[in-house]
């Protein structure tokens, strides 16, 4: 009986509480979207393009690697060996791709199979990206890509516990056949 | 809304003092057609440019500058097909424009938006529309 009396006039209080919670949580949505777009994002890696570095069991299980992608100042200070996401693969502007940087601007890269020429000089403002495995659609398909397409770098692996940690891209051996400009 | 400067779009936009209204709904090349004026990230440096789209994926475009009326100047007549996910972007002032003739086809992902209006002062506001019209195909007998 006591609760019933406490609930009298409950409709207005209900509305007040709902609007209160809506305000409290909905105001976080735009900052979160902004944060995901410009600062950092946690994302799943799909497909075998970075096999065996990411998704080493892509053909044995449905488990996908969970990675932290750092997006702040992503286009500055790029180095060979970094794992970058370039949003918007040059073929399809609505897809995000993850690859490793093989050559910076000015480098001469020995290309792999589908590319029509044996060697390519990476032009100004461009990078040469390749997947770690041989099952990737990379610069050997579409040529060097513009640095402006880069949206982030993969800095941490989060999900399979045994491989969680920082992405030590500087320990990864550089690919053979790259003549460095500087 | 952003200021624009430079001679590359000269008949359409002045060299200085032009402010452009850019529709971000058309970013990443969404709904862009041949003839639209777009703002895009220049692929070879850190700047932003405004140019006209001359070719969408699959179109065939002239790679070099076309010769002028007397048949002088201009490059070869080589044409390429614009690759998947790219577009061909050329300024209106061919002589003073760094565009796809220099850096090749531009990925659609670098397009920031479509220029929909220009403002020179508060009194001079004009919409920028695509002046290309579809030709009525002659009816087959």
Closest CA to B36 of B17, B16, B22: B22
The CATH number given to whatever domain includes residue B29 is 2.10.109.10
Distance CA B32, CA A41 (A): 29
Q: Which residues of chain A make contact with B84, given a CB cutoff of 8 A?
A: 91-92
Domain that holds residue B26: 2-127
At A123, list the tokens: 């032009």
Say which of A91, A93, A148 has its CB closest to residue B41: A148
Ordered alpha helix ranges (H), chain B: 100-103
Distance CA B2, CA B10 (A): 17
Domain count, chain B: 1
At A87, is the pLDDT very low, low, confident or very high (cuts 50, 70, 90)? low
For chain A, domain boundaries: 1-38, 40-179
Mean pLDDT of B77-104: 82
| Inside any domain, residue B26 | yes
Instruction: Name the architecture of domain A40-179.
Output: Ribbon (2.10)
B1 Cβ partners below 8 Å, 6+ apart? Answer: B19, B20, B21, B22
Q: Complex ipTM, two decimals? A: 0.70
| Inside any domain, residue B28 | yes
Say which of B29, B45, B103 has its CB closest to residue A93: B29
- In a 3-state reduction of DSSP, which class is residue A1? coil
Query: Do A145 and B107 count as a contact with CB atoms less than 8 A apart?
Result: yes
At B91, is the pLDDT very low, low, confident or very high (cuts 50, 70, 90)? confident
In chain B, which among 51-110 make CB contacts under 8 A with chain A? 83-86, 103, 107-110
* pLDDT tens by residue, A142-164: 888 888 888 888 888 887 777 77
- The chain-wide mean pLDDT, for chain B, equals 77
Mean pLDDT of A161-180: 77
* pLDDT tens by residue, A12-38: 888 999 999 998 888 899 999 898 888
Query: Do B85 and A87 count as a contact with CB atoms less than 8 A apart?
Result: no
Lowest-confidence segment of A101-110, A139-148, A166-175 by average pLDDT: A166-175
| Inside any domain, residue B76 | yes
Confidence check: pLDDT of B24 > 60: yes
B114 tagged catalytic: no
Q: What was the pLDDT predicted at A146?
A: 86
């Amino acid at each position: 009986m006591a609760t019933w009396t406490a609930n009298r006039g409950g409709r207005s209080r209900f509305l007040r509480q709902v609007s209160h919670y809506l305000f409290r949580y909905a105001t976080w949505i735009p900052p979160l979207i902004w944060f995901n777009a410009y600062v950092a994002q946690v994302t799943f890696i799909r497909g075998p393009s970075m096999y065996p570095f990411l998704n080493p069991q892509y053909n044995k299980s449905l488990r996908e690697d969970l990675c932290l992608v750092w997006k702040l100042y992503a286009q500055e200070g790029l180095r060979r060996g970094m794992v970058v996401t370039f949003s918007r693969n040059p073929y399809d502007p609505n897809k995000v791709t993850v690859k490793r940087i093989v050559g910076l601007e000015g480098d001469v890269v020995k290309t792999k199979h589908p590319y029509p020429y044996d060697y390519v000089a990476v032009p100004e403002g461009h990078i040469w990206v390749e997947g770690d495995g041989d099952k990737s659609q990379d610069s050997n398909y579409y040529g060097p890509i513009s640095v402006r397409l880069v949206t982030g770098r993969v800095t941490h692996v989060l999900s399979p516990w045994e491989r969680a940690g920082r992405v030590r891209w500087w320990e990864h051996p550089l690919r053979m056949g790259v003549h460095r400009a500087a | 809304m952003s200021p624009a400067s430079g001679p590359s779009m000269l008949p359409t936009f002045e060299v200085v003092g032009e402010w452009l209204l850019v529709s971000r709904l058309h970013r990443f090349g969404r709904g862009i057609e041949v003839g639209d004026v777009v703002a895009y990230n220049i692929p070879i440096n850190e700047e932003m440019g405004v140019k006209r789209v001359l070719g969408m994926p699959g179109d065939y475009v002239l790679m070099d500058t076309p010769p002028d009326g007397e048949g002088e100047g201009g490059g070869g007549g080589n044409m390429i097909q614009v690759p998947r996910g790219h577009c061909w972007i050329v300024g209106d002032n061919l002589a003073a424009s760094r565009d796809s003739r220099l850096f090749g086809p531009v990925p659609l992902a670098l397009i920031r938006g479509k220029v929909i209006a220009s403002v020179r002062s508060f009194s001079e506001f004009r919409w920028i529309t695509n002046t290309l019209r579809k030709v009525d195909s002659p009816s087959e007998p």
